[in-house]
Amino acid sequence: MTSPVKNLIEIKNLTHDYGSVRALDNVSLEIRENEFFALLGPSGCGKTTLLRILAGFETPLEGSVTLAGQDLISLPANKRPINLMFQSYALFPHMNVGQNVAYGLEREKLPKAEIKSRVEEVLKTVGLQDKVKARPSQLSGGQRQRVALARAIVKRPKLLLLDEPLSALDRKVRSEMQLELKRLQLEVGITFVVVTHDQEEAMSMADRIAVMVEGTVGQVDTPVDLYQRPATAYVGDFIGESNFFDGIIVPEGIKHASLGVLPGNRYGKDISGEAHLLIRPEDLRLAVSGEHSIPTMVQDVQFYGGASTLVLSIEGRSAPILMSQPGATSAQRGALVNLTWDPLKAIVLPRDSRRSAL
Amino acid sequence: MTSTIPTRVSRDSEKRRDLLERMVLQGPGLLFITIFMATPITLVAIYSIFQRGRFGGIVYKATTENFTRALDPVYLGVLTDSLKIAGITTILAIAIGYPTAYAIAKLPTKWRSIALVLVVMPFWTNFLIRTYSWIMLFNREGLLNHALLKFNIIHTPLDLLYTQSAVVVGLLYGYLPLMILPLYASIERLDPQLGEAAANLGATRTRAFFSLTLPLTASGLIAGSIFVFIPSLGNFIVPELLGGGKTVMVGNLIRDQFLKARDWPFGSVLALSVIALVFIFFMLQNAVEKRFSSDAHD
Amino acid sequence: MRMINTLRKVRPLQLILFCTFAFLYIPIIALMAMSFNGSHSPFILKGFSFRWYSVLIHDTRVIHGLINTLIVATGSTILSSILGTLLAVGLHRYTKSSALNAFALAPAIVPDIVLGIGLLALYALLSVSLGLYSVLLAHVVFSMAFVTAVVKARLAHTDKYLREASMDLGATRTATFMRITVPSLAPAILAGALLAFTLSLDEFVIAFFTNGPTTPTLPIVIYSMVRFGVTPEINALATLLMLVSFTAVIIAQRMTRPSEEQ
- Taking the CA of residue C11 and the nearest CA in chain B, the distance in Å comes to 10
pLDDT of res. A310 = 93
Question: Which of B2, B132, C135 is closest to A28 using CA atoms?
Answer: B2
pLDDT at residue number A54: 96
Residues of B in contact with A74 (CB under 8 A): 6, 9-10
* pLDDT tens profile A30-75: 999 999 999 999 998 999 999 999 999 999 999 999 999 899 999 9
C 29-48 residues with CB below 8 A of B? 30-31, 34, 42-43
Number of neighbours of residue A258 by Cβ within 10 angstroms: 10
Q: 10 Å Cβ neighbour count for B90?
A: 25
Q: CB contact, 8 Å: B262 with chain C?
A: no
Q: What is the DSSP string of A168-228?
A: TS-HHHHHHHHHHHHHHHHHHT-EEEEEES-HHHHHHH-SEEEEEETTEEEEEE-HHHHHH
For residues B78 and B197, give the distance between their C-alpha atoms in angstroms, rounded to a whole number: 49
Chain B residues whose beta carbon lies within 8 Å of the beta carbon of residue A56 = none
Residue B261 exposure: Cα atoms within 13 Å on the Cβ side = 13
pLDDT at residue B298 tops 60: no
Residue B195: pLDDT above 80?
no
* Minimum Cα–Cα distance from B15: chain A residue: A59
Residue B219: the pLDDT is 82
Domain span at residue C169 reads 69-216
Judge whether C86 and B26 are in contact, CB under 8 Å: yes
Residue range A7-228 forms a domain whose CATH class is alpha beta
Q: Which residues of C touch A (CB under 8 A)?
A: 159, 161-162, 164-172, 175, 179-180, 183-184, 186
Nearest to A133 by CA among A92, A103, A96, A105: A96
Domain assignment present for residue C5? The answer is no
Q: Which of A351-355, B180-184, B259-263 has the highest mean pLDDT?
A: B180-184
Q: Which chain B residues are within 8 Å of C229, Cβ to Cβ?
A: none
Cα C92 to its chain centre, rounded Å, is 25
Residues of chain B in contact with residue C92, where contact means CB-CB under 8 angstroms, are none
Whether residue C36 lies inside any domain: the answer is no
**Which burial class, exposed, middle or buried, applies to A17 when counting CB atoms under 10 A from its CB (0-12, 13-18, 19+)?**
middle
Helices H / strands E in chain B, number of each? 15, 2
Bigger pLDDT: A133 or C229?
Answer: A133
Segment A316-340 shows an average pLDDT of 89
Supply the pLDDT for residue B90.
96
B237/C89 CB distance under 8 A: no
For range A272-289, the mean pLDDT: 90
Q: Report the C-alpha gap between C61 and C69 in whole angstroms.
A: 12
Structural domain count of chain C:
1
Candidates C164, C169, C177: best to mutate against A (most CBs of A within 10 A) is C169
Q: Output the pLDDT for position A358.
A: 45
Assign B281 a pLDDT band (cuts: 50, 70, 90): confident
Q: Of A98-107, B2-11, B171-180, give the lowest mean pLDDT range.
A: B2-11
Architecture of domain A233-350: Beta Barrel (2.40)
Angle at C5 (CA atoms; ends B193, C18), nearest 5 degrees: 75
Q: Report the distance separating Cα A321 and Cα A213, nearest Å.
A: 25
Give the model's pLDDT for residue B286: 82
Give the per-residue pLDDT at B272: 92
- Any bridge partners for residue A302, and if so which? A309
Q: How far apart, in whole angstroms, are the C-alpha atoms of residue A53 and residue A50?
A: 5
C-beta atoms of A63 and B14 within 8 A: no
- Which C positions 92-121 lie with beta carbon below 8 A of chain B? 93-95, 100, 103-104, 106-107, 109-115, 117-121
Residues of B in contact with C7 (CB under 8 A): none
Arithmetic mean of pLDDT, B220-238: 92
Q: Is the model's pLDDT at A357 over the cut of 80?
A: no
**CATH code at position C83:** 1.10.3720.10
Report CB contact under 8 Å: C42, B102: no
Write out residues in chain C with pLDDT < 70, as ranges.
Answer: 1-10, 40-45, 229-230, 256-262
The DSSP 8-state label assigned to residue B142 in this structure reads: S
Q: Residues of B numbered 120-149 whose beta carbons fall under 8 angstroms of chain C's beta carbons: which are they?
A: 121-122, 124-137, 139, 141-143, 146
Q: Report CB contact under 8 Å: C171, A151.
A: no
Confidence of residue B145 (pLDDT cuts 50, 70, 90): confident
Report for A287-291, B103-107, B293-297, C175-179: range of highest mean pLDDT: C175-179
Neighbours of C, requiring at least 3 CB pairs below 8 Å, are A, B
Domain B74-297 CATH superfamily: MetI-like (1.10.3720.10)
Three-state SS for B60?
Answer: coil
The size of chain B, in residues, is 298
User: What whole-number distance in Å separates Cα of residue B260 and Cα of residue B267?
Assistant: 11
Looking at residues A260-265, what average pLDDT do you find? 90
- Over residues B218-247, mean pLDDT: 89
Q: Where do you find CATH 2.40.50.140 in chain A? A: 233-350
What ipTM does the predicted assembly reach?
0.87
What percent of chain B is predicted at pLDDT more than 90?
A: 37
Mean pLDDT across A309-333: 90
Minimum Cα–Cα distance from B112: chain C residue: C17
Residue environment code for B239-269, b if the CB has 16+ CB neighbours within 10 A, otherwise e? bbbbbeeebbbbbbbbbbbbeeeebbbbbbb
From chain C residues 174-213, the ones with a CB under 8 A of any chain B CB are 198, 202, 204-205, 209
Give the chains touching A; criterion: ≥3 Cβ pairs < 8 Å: B, C
Contact residues, chain A, for B11 at CB < 8 Å = 59, 61
Inter-helix orientation angle C132-155/C112-125, to 10°: 130
Region(s) of chain A under CATH 3.40.50.300:
7-228
**A21 vs B148, which has greater pLDDT?**
A21
The three state secondary structure string of A26-69 is EEEEEEECCCEEEEECCCCCCHHHHHHHHHCCCCCCEEEEEECC
| Count, residues in chain A | 358
Under 8 Å CB-to-CB from C166, ≥6 apart: which residues? A92, A103, C175, C176, C179, C180
| A191 pLDDT above the threshold of 90 | yes
On whether the CB atoms of residues A49 and A58 are closer than 8 A, the answer is yes
B2 and A CB contact within 8 Å: yes
Residue C135 phi/psi, 5-degree rounding, is -70, -40
Does C15 reside within a domain? no
Residue (of B229, B239, B218, B234) closest to B286 by Cα position: B218
Q: What is the mean pLDDT of residues A282-290?
A: 87
Give the pLDDT score at A60. 93
Contact B129, C222 (CB under 8 A): yes
Residue C47 CA to residue C45 CA, distance in Å, equals 6
Is the pLDDT score of B58 beyond 90? no
Does residue C209 contact residue C119 with C-beta atoms inside 8 Å? yes
Closest Cβ opposite residue B2 in set A12, A74, A76: A12
CA distance A63 to chain B (A): 6
Contact A12 B11 (CB under 8 A): no
Q: Is the distance from CB of B176 to CB of B97 less than 8 angstroms?
A: yes
Q: B51 phi and psi, to 5 degrees?
A: -115, 160
Rounded CA-CA distance A321/A344 in Å is: 19
The DSSP code for B90 is: H
d(CA A347, CA A356): 17
